[in-house]
Amino acid sequence: MAACTISGEQPVKAQAAALCGVLSVPEDRSTSGGRQVGLRVAVVPAVAPHHDPDPVFVLAGGPGDVATQFFAWLPTVFKDLHATRDIVLVDQRGTGGSHPLTLPQPPDTTGLSPSRADQRLTAWSRAGLASLDADPRLYTTSVAADDLDAVRAALGYAKVDLYGTSYGGTVAQYYLRQHGDRVRVAVLDGSTPVDVPVLERIGRNSQAALDLLFRRCAADPACHHAFPRLGAEWNGLVKRFGHPVTVVDPASGATQTVDKVMLATAVHAALLTESGAAQLPLALHLAYRGRLVEAARLIGTSDGGGPRLLMADVITCSESWARYDPVEVARQGARSFALARELALARQRAALCAHLPKGVVPADDAAAVRTDTPVLWVTGDGDPQDPPANLSAVTAQETHSRVVVVPAQQHVVGHLGCLPSVVAVFVDAGSADGLDVSCVARATPAPAFRLR
């Protein structure tokens, strides 16, 4: 390990002094010899000279976020936690500084016959996979969990605490299942139990989040006054975009065709963040009035370009929690504004996965994680992806767990308001028993709705 500075641009620009190194681990632990994978590791040492022996391993979302970049802000926000504990960040294999593996974007198969589409995807996968110095099957979550334990052992920690956000909470659950005796406590932020098919529920969960946002706007005097017909305007938008609409940017003259799938994509993305949700009523109002370019600038769009991480595709094509059966998507999202989008994504996933190797998964991959380890789950009530509804069985499966629901918030909430202090108290105590969370409702307000 050598002195270094970790830095990142997203979600906020930040940097932190750390110790960095690379740990070589076998790509395939089932055989001797063979290819090695270098894992980039960063440790932000605890502030206190006499600190607690158990560090916090912070696990990134995605799949595919780069932990040593994404979490550069965390030591500053979680000051109480960092005061007495090392923060350990590991780039998951296949990402960042840990042998990143990328593929070009799949070819567009719109309008092609099934056989022609299959030919184009076959050529894409063969060319992309042939260029890789890796066995793609070995870049799954269970293998990454064993990597984390190798890092723990190499750094000399007997026990660790886990903090996982979004998919990072999935990684934490795999680690609990495979190395639970090494975990003192775990915090899962904006995550879903691994026995719950989270992707198949996104349609209905996104609709529930939008309904909640509309109710919040109606109950807010200023928002209701600005947008008294928000629900009706939304229904009008959905009907209008039942057929593709051509949008012209008056400044540049550029045109773009927008349909209900693109509308749903933009709305779901806005519902994921507090700032996006706060601007969504205004954006929908502007869109209803035909000011689509202004609306798009408010809530943003995704370019979807550039290379894609192979590990993310192998994980979502292979692991049980990520199953994406179009039949189940249609059943669960029957009355959702996002149904067309989710069905399109599920069908695209099926076509893509048919051309990628299946990853290594454990025999109990679909099973719930049952543990006596203290686990704190935190979630926003307006999360369109990992909402409280996904956590209904948690306390029965995890005997020392607690679920904290943060009102009027979206996806991943542990950094908001008083929650960093709550998390620190939980980790220090090593138990959720008697944990005081009364500050959460009063000290974690949502951003004010943007009205103009």
What pLDDT is recorded for position 296? 85
Give whole-number Cα distances, 318 to 196, 222, 380, in Å: 15, 47, 28
Pick from 109, 341, 383, 331: nearest CA to 241: 341
Q: Tokens for 142, please give them.
A: 């269970």
Pick from 195, 190, 163, 194: nearest CA to 90: 163
From 245, 267, 299, give the residue that closes a domain.
299
What pLDDT is recorded for position 377? 98
Write the CB contacts of 378 (distance below 8 Å, at least 6 apart in sequence).
Answer: 187, 188, 189, 190, 403, 404, 406, 413, 414, 419, 423
Q: How many domains does the chain have?
A: 2
Same domain, 144 and 39: yes
Categorize the per-residue pLDDT at 84 as very low, low, confident or very high, splitting at 50, 70 and 90.
very high
pLDDT value at 16 more than 90: yes
List Cβ<8 Å contacts ≥24 apart for 7-15.
7/69, 7/72, 8/66, 8/69, 8/70, 8/71, 8/72, 8/73, 9/69, 10/69, 10/70, 11/70, 11/73, 12/73, 14/72, 14/73, 14/76, 15/72
Same domain, 167 and 271: no
From 299, 326, 357, give the residue that closes a domain.
299
Same domain, 382 and 253: no
Task: Give the tens place of pLDDT for each residue, 353-399.
Answer: 999 999 999 999 999 999 999 999 999 999 999 999 999 999 999 99
Q: How many Å apart are CA 359 and CA 231, to the nearest integer?
A: 44
Cβ atoms of residues 373 and 185 within 8 Å: yes
Strands 255-258 vs 245-248: parallel, antiparallel or unpaired? antiparallel
Same domain, 157 and 9: yes
Write the CB contacts of 437 (distance below 8 Å, at least 6 apart in sequence).
Answer: 404, 422
Q: Work out the average pLDDT over 211-219.
A: 97
Q: What are the backbone angles phi and psi of residue 24, rounded to the nearest 5°?
A: -85, 130
Same domain, 182 and 246: no
Task: Give the tens place of pLDDT for each residue, 264-303.
Answer: 999 999 999 999 999 999 999 999 998 988 898 887 655 5
Same domain, 187 and 252: no
Q: What CATH number did the domain enclosing 385 receive?
A: 3.40.50.1820
Q: How many Å apart are CA 397 and CA 253, to the nearest integer?
A: 56
Provide the residue range defining the domain that includes 405.
Answer: 2-100+138-196+367-443
Q: Tell me, what amino acid is at 283?
A: A
Q: How many Å apart are CA 444 and CA 80, to the nearest integer?
A: 18
Pick from 143, 305, 278: nearest CA to 217: 278
What pLDDT is recorded for position 180? 97
Number of residues written out for the chain: 452
Angle at which helix 260-271 crosses helix 339-353, to 10 degrees, equals 100
What pLDDT is recorded for position 319? 98
From 249, 264, 299, give the residue that closes a domain.
299
Residue 130 domain-assigned? Answer: no
Categorize the per-residue pLDDT at 253 as very low, low, confident or very high, splitting at 50, 70 and 90.
confident
Same domain, 392 and 256: no
Residue 208 domain-assigned? Answer: no
Pick from 201, 219, 341: nearest CA to 281: 219
Categorize the per-residue pLDDT at 305 as very low, low, confident or very high, splitting at 50, 70 and 90.
low
Cβ atoms of residues 379 and 352 within 8 Å: no
Same domain, 186 and 263: no
Same domain, 150 and 270: no
Q: Tokens for 303, please give them.
A: 């370019």
Instruction: Report H helices in 335-388.
Output: 339-353
Categorize the per-residue pLDDT at 105 as very low, low, confident or very high, splitting at 50, 70 and 90.
confident
Alpha-carbon Rg for the chain, nearest whole angstrom, is: 22
What pLDDT is recorded for position 389? 97
DSSP state of 218: H
Q: How many Å apart are CA 133 and CA 27, to the nearest integer?
A: 11
Average pLDDT, the chain: 93
